[in-house]
Amino acid sequence: MTPSTATTPEPEAVRAPRAPAPIAPVHAAFSAAFLLATGKRVTLPIPGDPLDRKLHALVIAQGLDEVLARIPLLFGSAEWWAKSKDLATFVQHFDKLVVVPAGRRGGSTTAEILAMGRELEGK
């Protein structure tokens, strides 16, 4: 191969670094809720450790407002998995922390399913 026919690799596209998730409000809200519930100070994750990375990913995926809205649900829960009111439990069981309207256990009622079936039959 001659120098004139050799190709030089193109430089890789330079990516702008992604802004870190704004987790300071999550730390503050969780710390306040933990202190109120237990009377103790919570130990927050060290920046860059696995729990910190999971918390960042959670805020990026769900949004700051949603994460903040679910913090009080952990401290109001009597579920077996919520006995440990720490940040690792919050991150691990985040999807379980939802408000179900009164009188509903989740899912559709039989009447709703039948109504959907009648609606689909009409199409």
The pair of structure tokens assigned to 81 is 């998995």
Q: Does residue 4 sit within a domain?
A: no
pLDDT at 1 exceeding the cut of 60: no
Poorest-confidence range of 34-43, 71-80, 109-118? 109-118
CA dist., res. 26 & res. 44, Å (int): 10
Q: What is the largest CA-CA distance in the chain?
A: 78
The mean predicted confidence, pLDDT, of the chain is 79
Report pLDDT for 77. Answer: 77
CA dist., res. 51 & res. 96, Å (int): 18
Report pLDDT for 56. Answer: 93
Q: Does residue 9 sit within a domain?
A: no
Q: Does residue 56 sit within a domain?
A: yes
CA dist., res. 75 & res. 31, Å (int): 12
Report pLDDT for 102. Answer: 62
The residue range of the domain holding 104 is: 24-121
pLDDT band at 3 (very low <50, low <70, confident <90, very high): low
CA dist., res. 70 & res. 99, Å (int): 9
Q: How many domains does the chain have?
A: 1
Short-list 8, 20, 32, CA closest to 58:
20
Report pLDDT for 82. Answer: 72
Which is higher by pLDDT, 107 or 35? 35
Average pLDDT rounded to a whole number, residues 55-81: 88
What is the secondary structure of 68-92 as a DSSP string? HHHHHHHHT---GGGSS-SHHHHHH
Helix/strand/coil for 44: coil
Question: Do 70 and 30 meet the contact criterion of CB atoms below 8 Å apart?
Answer: no
Q: Does residue 96 sit within a domain?
A: yes
Q: Does residue 10 sit within a domain?
A: no
Report pLDDT for 123. Answer: 60
